[in-house]
Amino acid sequence: MNDCIFCKIVAGDLPAEKVYEDEKVLAFMDIRPTNEGHVLVIPKAHSTNVLDIEESDWIEVAKATRRIAKATKSATQACGLNLVMNVESCAGQVVMHPHAHIIPRYENDGLDIWHGKEYESETIMKELANKIRNKFA
Ligand code: AMP
Ligand code: ZN
């Protein structure tokens, strides 16, 4: 936790271009933006990601993200946004402190997002749905 760069930003030990702050949440500009105006929203309390964050912090991050998303879209005059959370290294999470990416989208900005693919069979989808449902049983 002491090595966590986002905790250091919360503590004021590392600089950040802050855009929003409340008791539980901090938002600041991403230093290596996917598009100009890219904002990160984090809980002030350390955890790894959405899988282990306290539910009350998750709710505060979600509420703040919606407000900051509106402000970011309006301020940047973006035509839309991508709201993204990378969860675990294999999914692209580099900083192990929860963070929501707010990425403004502009017409013809050249960014591509992942594409859907076909299931090899409907059975596979149904089996996976069953496995997920069983986690709630
Ligand atoms: P992720 O790959 O989802 O873990 O995203 C981490 C993000 O944090 C990247 O988009 C980085 O550009 C951004 N980032 C890393 N260090 C800093 C920093 N000191 N201040 C602002 N953004 C940062
Ligand atoms: Zn942290």
Domain count, the chain: 1
Give the structural domain span for 20. 5-134
Q: Work out the pLDDT band at 2, boundaries 50, 70, 90.
A: confident
pLDDT one-digit tens code per residue, 16-74: 999 999 999 999 999 999 999 999 999 999 999 999 999 999 999 999 999 999 999 99
Distance 132 CA to ligand 2 centre (A): 29
Residue pointed to by tokens 């950040």: 16
Which pLDDT value is given to residue 1? 53
pLDDT one-digit tens code per residue, 3-20: 999 999 999 999 999 999
Q: Work out the pLDDT band at 113, boundaries 50, 70, 90.
A: confident
Query: Which amino acid is it at 41?
Result: V
- Does ligand 1 have an atom closer than 6 angstroms to the CB of 48? no
Q: What is the CATH number of the domain that holds 75?
A: 3.30.428.10
Nearest ligand by distance to the CA of 4 = 2
